Copies of this chain bind each other. A is one copy, B any other.
Amino acid sequence: MRRNVPLRDRVAVAILDAAAAELAQRGQSVSMAEVATAAGVGRTTLYRYFPNRESLLETLAEEACAELIGKLADAGLDGVPVAEALARVSRIAVGQAAKYQALMRVCCKPDVPDETARQLMAPLVALFARGSAEGVWRGDLGSDALLDLYMALLEGALGHALHSKLGVEPAAAAITSLFLQGARAQHRPGPRPEATSSLAEGF
């Protein structure tokens, strides 16, 4: 009868929403029973949808990732210069930080399945590869190392809730700007401060 029920029953949605809300409020301590109650279903029902706590968390994480994946796909990263694309990525990521926050408080690494991780990373890998091809990046670090550094910066900033100190836009801009300037090829190799030169030799 109910025709246009999205594939995953509203029940699943209700559960995920409830779980997200509860986790956001009370952190990792929420019990399965509480989630079930908050979703208006019995404990056992919860277990038919998500066979264990981890799977619930994982699904929640996938949910968030899916959203990110969608936004990244819609961002038209391929059509703009690398720098601008990176700026968009930062804005999107920081913009989602609030939702992320709840999950991150619960479990640092909620074990997103590989496939999801791959989908999430794919556009970034492509973007950084393009940067490499276009000679945007400095030569001493590979594009994959740079991607790692960028991800580290991003996740670290989200973990530190940088956006709640600076505001979303400024935080995204700071991240983008710092990374870009730090990772950019030095076009004009003029005289540089001696301190850094010695460090550069460390490479």
Contacts and interface: CB of A to CB of B under 8 A. Distances in A.
Interface of A: 80-84, 87, 104-105, 108-109, 136, 138, 140-141, 145-146, 148-149, 151-157, 159-160, 162, 165-166, 169-170, 173-184, 186-188, 190, 192-196, 198-200, 202-203
A151 B83 CA distance: 23
Contact of A180 (B82, B162, B186, B199): B199
B182 A84 contact: no
Of all A-B residue pairs in the complex, the 4 with the closest CB atoms, nearest first, are: A182-B182, A152-B156, A156-B156, A83-B195
A175 B141 CA distance: 11
A68 to B, nearest CB: 17
A148 B170 CA distance: 13
A162 B151 CA distance: 11
A145 B160 contact: no
A157 B175 CA distance: 15
A203 B170 contact: yes
